[in-house]
A and B are shown apart, each in its own frame.
Chain A
Amino acid sequence: MADKIRSVLRLLRLYARMDLNWVLQDFKAALIVICAEIINNLTAVSGILLLAVRFGGAGGLTADEILLMLGFFELADGLCYMLFGGFNVLHISRRIGRGQLDHMLIQPRPLPVQLLTEGFMPVSGSGGFLIGILLTAAAWIRLQLAVTPLRLFLLLLYILCHILLTLGQSFLFGSAAFRNPAAGEELSTLILDLNGRLGRFPLFGLPRWLLGLLCTVLPVGLLAYLPSLALLGRLSGLVLALPVCVATAFALAAAGCFRAGIRHYLQYSCNRYKGMGHRS
């Protein structure tokens, strides 16, 4: 086990170094990419934030609470992107649908280790994460939230849940590309876009059945809304464990579907190959 962890850490260091080299080798291009990502993230949060400021809150939350929710979303999503955003690990259906899994299967490393490490880009992919830290810190200060061990634990736990939910959904739906590579190539992208669009909205006031749906089957409510309510101390009891349960369920379902997909891949392979996005 210790050997495996050491091996994963060595690979993470390798990909971090490669990412840093990429930035240093073509600094101007890298700077443009990072700035574009920061602008993109700021744009994504600014719409709802401006509405909340203009109307003194939105969806049952004050403007500062909205800021916390948006900050949490950027923080968790930025971390997820930083860890898995490189080379279409997060957009796994692209790799599957383009027949690029062959490149992974000829490496003498277990697939989970490859998936855990190849997408790591701590320098070029850190824009969203940095914005998330700034927004969360700003909201935290404005709301004068006390830094308690429980609150910090919940913050870390819900970030982990956010990452598991994002990866879980991407891998779960993206696994359809094993059976239909051409049609399924962009499934992960669609799911991630959907999360990005709906995950930043406060859901207060929605009918209970819809809220239930958005916190379980299509868990956009668990990406930022429910965690921010928990951080604000507005939730208690079993509902605090809902993100953990749903994230675990999605992660297990995704692992099962992906494993089944790999078995299918070994029977049928992929009838197409596109080099686009592979190691570039």
Chain B
Amino acid sequence: MKTNHDCIVTLAHVTKYFDQSRPVSLWKREHTRIYALKDVSFTLHRGEFAAYAGPNGAGKSTTFKLLAGLLRAQQGQVELFGADPCVKRIEVMRRTGVLFGNRSELWWDHPVRASFEWKKAVWEIPDDVYLAQVRKLKELLDLEPLWNTFSRELSLGQRMRADLALTLLHAPELVLLDEPTLGLDVLAKRRMIDFLKRANQELGVTLMVTSHDMDDLAEMANRLLLINRGHLAFDGNYEALMHMTGDHRLVRLMTSAEPPVPEGLSLVERSGSRCTYRYDGSKIHTPQLFTLLAGIPGIRDIQLEPENIETVIADLYRKWSSEGEAAE
């Protein structure tokens, strides 16, 4: 297996479709072809932390399954470490960790420890690597209190932590995480995000994560891949995304009287004397904004903040959706 270059994941002009057939009458069936991915290309280099996002049905899970060797593309090339994951499944899986958020790899009726011992045997992890990884993961994910607990007795957050540690046990170079924060409470999510960042920075693990929580992704990843209707719609960092969507910012005002809407600003929300406006930071600079706000009487407080990434992405999805409908 080729191991040269820093390129860990390569998708080159990948197209994946599913042929479906449904009965329309007793004798006739209607055949349709659903495209999950259309000519998708990207590469992932060693040490990168990429977020992979998109609306429901955009093709995220299909991409992950292609990368994990669970699906085969009809066209194009999928390579992990320079090899096709379907053909060189065993070699690729020794270097890759895969975790789907709603699926557990733990042995339900055994203590957490037993799942780790099982993985050591199945992955043939050498003793020294196993001991070092267990020590590191126990510390990073605070697993010691869970070590002898039955997997069936863990809370969702604890289970995710144990599952994540199990995914990293064989010291994979690449980790694919599908919705790792799914269903976690605020604290558990916080710990998960912190851990993933540390795994990327301290252990040098290359990560690719999907989530619907854009704030989480924005905090974790330094690269964002957005997919829409099977097409790679965006590939870059968050600054580039902001540049593409417009540098939307919010200004919140608290006034003694109901304020007017200044020119160039759009009203987002009004609740009594509190108002929230949106403006494009690339068109209206801060001094200019203050000049506009100076015309509003009775201002008691002003707050400026960038638009929430969730809102930016939601607007983007909405735009794509209306463009898609128009195209159809």
Q: Report Cα–Cα, A106/B93, bound state, in Å.
A: 6
Which residues of B have CB within 8 Å of A268?
A: 18
Which residues of A have CB within 8 Å of B86?
A: 266
Interface residues on B, range: 20 to 34
B-facing residues in A154-191 (Cβ within 8 Å): none
Q: Which among B68, B107, B111, B123 is the interface contact of A108 at CB below 8 angstroms?
A: B123
Q: Report Cα–Cα, A109/B110, bound state, in Å.
A: 22
Q: Say whether A11 faces chain B, with CB atoms less than 8 Å apart.
A: yes
Q: Say whether A144 faces chain B, with CB atoms less than 8 Å apart.
A: no
Which residues of B have CB within 8 Å of A22?
A: 109-110
Q: Say whether B252 faces chain A, with CB atoms less than 8 Å apart.
A: no
Which residues of A have CB within 8 Å of B110?
A: 18, 21-22, 25
In whole Å, how far is B100's beta carbon from the nearest beta carbon of chain A? 7
In whole Å, how far is B11's beta carbon from the nearest beta carbon of chain A? 17
In whole Å, how far is B21's beta carbon from the nearest beta carbon of chain A? 11
Q: Say whether A237 faces chain B, with CB atoms less than 8 Å apart.
A: no
Which residues of A have CB within 8 Å of B100?
A: 102
Does the CB pair B70–A102 fall under 8 Å?
yes
In whole Å, how far is B238's beta carbon from the nearest beta carbon of chain A? 30
Q: Report Cα–Cα, A102/B89, bound state, in Å.
A: 12
A-facing residues in B104-144 (Cβ within 8 Å): 104-111, 114, 118, 121-124
Q: Report Cα–Cα, A26/B150, bound state, in Å.
A: 11
Q: Which among B18, B90, B109, B114 is the interface contact of A26 at CB below 8 angstroms?
A: B109
Q: Say whether A204 faces chain B, with CB atoms less than 8 Å apart.
A: no
Does the CB pair B72–A11 fall under 8 Å?
no
Known: A106-B98, A109-B90, A110-B90. A18 touches B122 (CB 8 A): no
Kindly supply a per-residue 1/0 record for chain A positions 89-100, scoring 1 wherever the CB is within 8 Å of any chain B CB and 0 otherwise. Answer: 000000000000
Kindly supply a per-residue 1/0 record for chain A positions 248-280, scoring 1 wherever the CB is within 8 Å of any chain B CB and 0 otherwise. Answer: 000000000000000000111100010100111
Q: Say whether A28 faces chain B, with CB atoms less than 8 Å apart.
A: no
Chain B CB count within 10 A is highest, among A10, A106, A108, for A106
Does the CB pair A11–B103 fall under 8 Å?
no
Q: Report Cα–Cα, A269/B72, bound state, in Å.
A: 9
Q: Say whether B65 faces chain A, with CB atoms less than 8 Å apart.
A: yes
In whole Å, how far is A260's beta carbon from the nearest beta carbon of chain B? 14
Q: Report Cα–Cα, A19/B204, bound state, in Å.
A: 37
Q: Say whether B308 faces chain A, with CB atoms less than 8 Å apart.
A: no
Which residues of B have CB within 8 Å of A279?
A: 104-108
Does the CB pair A266–B70 fall under 8 Å?
yes
Kindly supply a per-residue 1/0 record for chain A positions 17-55, scoring 1 wherever the CB is within 8 Å of any chain B CB and 0 otherwise. Answer: 010011001100000000000000000000000000000
Which residues of A have CB within 8 Å of B230?
A: none
Report the nearest B residue to A107, measured CB to CB: B122
Does the CB pair A18–B107 fall under 8 Å?
yes
Which residues of B have CB within 8 Å of A103?
A: 103, 105
In whole Å, how far is A29's beta carbon from the nearest beta carbon of chain B? 9
Q: Say whether A14 faces chain B, with CB atoms less than 8 Å apart.
A: yes
Q: Report Cα–Cα, A73/B118, bound state, in Å.
A: 33
Q: Say whether A105 faces chain B, with CB atoms less than 8 Å apart.
A: yes
Q: Say whether B71 faces chain A, with CB atoms less than 8 Å apart.
A: yes
Which residues of B have CB within 8 Å of A278?
A: 103-104, 108
Q: Say whether B94 faces chain A, with CB atoms less than 8 Å apart.
A: yes
Kindly supply a per-residue 1/0 record for chain B positions 30-42, scoring 1 wherever the CB is within 8 Å of any chain A CB and 0 otherwise. Answer: 0000000000000
Report the nearest A residue to B89, measured CB to CB: A105
Q: Say whether B29 faces chain A, with CB atoms less than 8 Å apart.
A: no
Chain B CB count within 10 A is highest, among A26, A103, A107, for A107
Q: Report Cα–Cα, A268/B18, bound state, in Å.
A: 7
Question: Residues on B close to A: CB < 8 A?
Answer: 18, 65, 68-72, 86, 89-91, 93-94, 96, 98, 100, 102-111, 114, 118, 121-124, 152
